[in-house]
Amino acid sequence: MRPFTAPGWTLAALAALTATVAQAREEHVTTRTYVADRVERFVGRPGFQSTIAFAPAERIENIAVGDGSGWQITPNRAANLLFVKPTGSSARLTNMTVVTDRRTYLFELRNDPRAVPAYLIRFSYPAAEAEPSPAPAPAVIAAAETVVAPSALPLDRMNFGWTMRGEKRLFPDRVFDDGEAVYLAWSPDRALPAILAPAPDGRSEGPVNFTARGQFLVVEGRHARLVLRSGRDMAVLEGAAAPGEPPATPARVAAAR
């Protein structure tokens, strides 16, 4: 039996397909060199979610968005990835600042329904920055955690009267506010949902500015209502009761229904 030899046109087609796949990957997955104070342009496309990857040793501490209407921005549990997507045509041109424990990143966010969607944007770093900073001593860590512990907040300013409704798997384990910020906590084995606030028009939602402090995500500002989303699942948090009540937990909310 004569050995099979693929026709020349078949080999050419395979080569063309391989080149097309490689080109598509290059368009959807990119690596950018980190430069301090440089504004990184991000172009999102409705219907597509993009991942921004920071250094494995970095941890996101704060995210601030100029006008979050129409944008959904969520960190992963390890706080070294950021998931970004425009939720529709209402996503406006705006800026975003991401502060990690090592660097500050500046982004310009654009929404373009004709753009080639970015699936993954990762950063590379100059050799001088490649090695992570030495870990702080245990005493320093303990001191930092003491600063952000809930017990450090005056009890008479803490409002535990938050109610939760919707998809229970999105409910935080703890939620309260102090009149200036809302504190949310999920157990380490749970994925974080997107945390959104209703826009003034009441017809859309946008991401909130928050800081990661110990086990808590601290949402800046006063909020009577927050929306949690993960895919098509949604939960609503509403705060209205007087200070001094027990913390709102999924079990407590379910019992109150």
* 202-253 per-position pLDDT tens digit: 777 888 888 888 888 999 998 999 999 988 899 999 987 544 444 445 444 4
Per-residue confidence (pLDDT) for residue 149, from 0 to 100: 45
> How many CA atoms lie less than 13 Å away from 179 in the CB half-sphere?
9
192 CB contacts (<8 Å, ≥6 apart)?
Answer: 74, 75, 76, 77, 186, 217
Q: Is 22's pLDDT higher than 50? A: no
pLDDT at residue 6, rounded to an integer: 56
Q: Which residue has the higher pLDDT, 18 or 236?
A: 236
Read off the pLDDT band of 21 (50, 70, 90): very low
Percent of the chain with pLDDT over 90: 43
CA pair distance 184, 193, nearest whole angstrom:
11
Find out whether 194 and 72 touch, Cβ atoms under 8 Å. Answer: yes
Interval 24-43: pLDDT, tens: 456 899 999 999 999 999 99
Q: Is 105 in contact with 37 (CB distance < 8 Å)?
A: no
CATH architecture, range 153-257: Sandwich (2.60)
Q: What is the pLDDT of residue 214?
A: 80
pLDDT (0 to 100) of residue 10: 57
The pLDDT of residue 87 is: 85
At residue 119's C-alpha, the angle toward residues 118 and 120, to 5°, is 95
DSSP of 88-132, one letter per residue?
STTPPPEEEEEEESS-EEEEEEEE-TTSPPPSEEEEE--GGG-SP
99/211 Cα distance (integer angstroms): 9
Cα–Cα distance, 111 to 71 (Å, whole number): 9
Out of 39-48, 67-76, 87-96, 198-207, the most confident range is: 39-48
Q: Is 105 left (phi over 0), alpha (psi -120 to 50) or beta?
A: beta
Instruction: Check whether 139 has a pLDDT greater than 60.
Output: no
pLDDT at 188: 84
Sorted by where each begins, the domain ranges of the chain are: 27-126, 153-257
Element (H, E) at 236: strand 233-239
111 or 68, which is more confident? 111
Q: Is the fold of 27-126 the same as that of 153-257?
A: yes
Asked if residue 133 has pLDDT above 80, the reply is: no
pLDDT digits (tens, 9 = 90+) for 167-176: 999 999 999 9
**CATH assignment of 27-126, given 1.10.10, 2.60.40, 1.10.3470, 1.20.1440?**
2.60.40
Bridge-based pairing state of the strands 210-213 and 29-33: unpaired
Task: Say whether pLDDT at 74 is over 80.
Answer: yes
